[in-house]
Amino acid sequence: MEALVNWTEMITPLDTLIECIKVERNLPDASNLVCGLSRVFGILLAYIFPFIGTFNFINNSIVAVIFLIVLRRENRYYLFLGILAIADIGINFFIGWLWLFPSYGVPFATSGGVYYFILTRSADTCRFMIFTQTFWCNLRGIVYIVLAFDRLLLMYQPLGQKIPSKYLTLILLIMAFTMSGVISIPIAVFHGLKVHANLIACWFTTNYRPLSFYQVLLSNSCLIQLAVVGLFDAFLLVRIIKWSRSRHKMTDKASTLNMKQISPTITLLVLNAVSLVSSSPSGITYLILISLPNASIEFIRSITFLIELSWIFIMLQSAFNILLYYIRIEKFRQVLLKSFLCRCIHTRLSSSIRSSTASTNL
Measured CA angle at 223 (ends 219, 226), to 5 deg: 110
Residue 326 CB-density burial (10 A; 0-12 exposed, 13-18 middle, 19+ buried)? middle
Helix axes 330-361, 321-328, angle to 10 degrees: 100
Q: What are phi and psi of 202, to 5 degrees?
A: -85, 100
What is the maximal distance between C-alpha atoms in the chain? 80
Closest CA to 17 of 37, 292, 7, 6: 37
Whether 25 has a pLDDT exceeding 80, the answer reads yes
Report pLDDT for 160.
43
Residue 218: its pLDDT value, please? 83
- pLDDT bucket at 140, cuts 50 / 70 / 90: very high
Contacting residues for 272 by C-beta, under 8 A, at least 6 apart: 144, 148, 226, 229, 230, 233
Q: Using CB atoms within 10 Å of the CB of residue 218, give its burial: 0 to 12 exposed, 13 to 18 middle, 19+ buried.
A: buried
- Report pTM: 0.88
Mean pLDDT for all residues in the chain: 83
168-172, long-range: CB < 8 A, 24+ apart: 168/76, 169/76, 169/79, 172/76, 172/80, 172/146
Fold of 2-332: Rhopdopsin 7-helix transmembrane proteins (1.20.1070)
Does residue 300 register a pLDDT over 80? no
Neighbouring C-beta atoms of residue 117, cutoff 10 Å? 20
What whole-number distance in Å separates Cα of residue 314 and Cα of residue 87? 12
Query: What pLDDT is attached to residue 290?
Result: 84
Q: What 3-state class would DSSP assign to 309?
A: helix
Chain-centroid distance of CA 167 in Å reads 28
Cα 33 to Cα 31: distance, rounded to the nearest angstrom: 5
Average pLDDT on 220-238 reads 86
